[in-house]
Structure 1
């Protein structure tokens, strides 16, 4: 397919509400598309392709009617396991900054590196259960992804000193939040922010 100006990234998250203090999701960004219709179709079958039996879940809902959908605009599938774990399959939209191309089905086949920001909103909910993740960029070149990760939380009007805490974990630095996390910051309001680089392969 010809180059498109946007990418549609499938994002599968698993959150265990019994362990809300864990700052990170179990998250995967397994597939990326240049065609939204193809991305939506793949999102609906992703959990099954990952080996999950739909009948295993106590709750399993797919987005059919947007007007009556209660799980968020980007969420295509919501499921809840008997253990209480919550599964979401979402689609995040990012700029196709590298001019990545897809096959005839609309899927980008080359290995990719995604920049992901996770926000844990302790200021609204001290349990840590209120959180979200956002794909901030998608790159074929890991170096570009890493560079972007170090700049996600900064701009001309927002510096490291504006945060209550701001730590970078570059190559060779011990990463207390896992090997994928490049930045951990805390806002004065109590929000915890983590920026990761996650490969889809």
Structure 2
């Protein structure tokens, strides 16, 4: 099983977008989630994944956000055309129609939109998951953990294109130890909530090396 070590370059790449820009951000406020489009059993699985990742990071969950009510909205659906039918969603997501058209054209099965506070920290996230054949075949706990992990930080748009943040240990799907260590490091209160300089990856990597095992 892989250990929790990463090189500085590997950390850097996880926050370097396809256009070459380095962009790191973590949540700057407690996460108040609301989930749409799943049954009670799957809802409990997603909540369990949220609680586990929040405990790992040391970040808090909340019932409500004082400004937004819910600040993490996760939508599960079968077809992108369903999104424009969601009441008031176009007020939260500007240019929703053109966005849906682009996602349909690309054959995408997931998309995330983040909003940021004055310090650059994440203040809201909208997660859209189209349950195509590939995602529908995943066990609920795997799908839930994957989505939660991808929403806990502002990762690069290419971060997990070639490799999942999850791993299999004795027939059980878990968060990769190196990704777990990076999430813990990212929420170190000494570090800023956001950074655009690649040197931030060095600070993250140093804390990963010094952090005690989970």
TM-score, length basis structure 2: 0.28
The answer to which structure has the higher strand fraction is 1
The answer to which structure has the higher helix fraction is 2
TM-score, length basis structure 1: 0.29
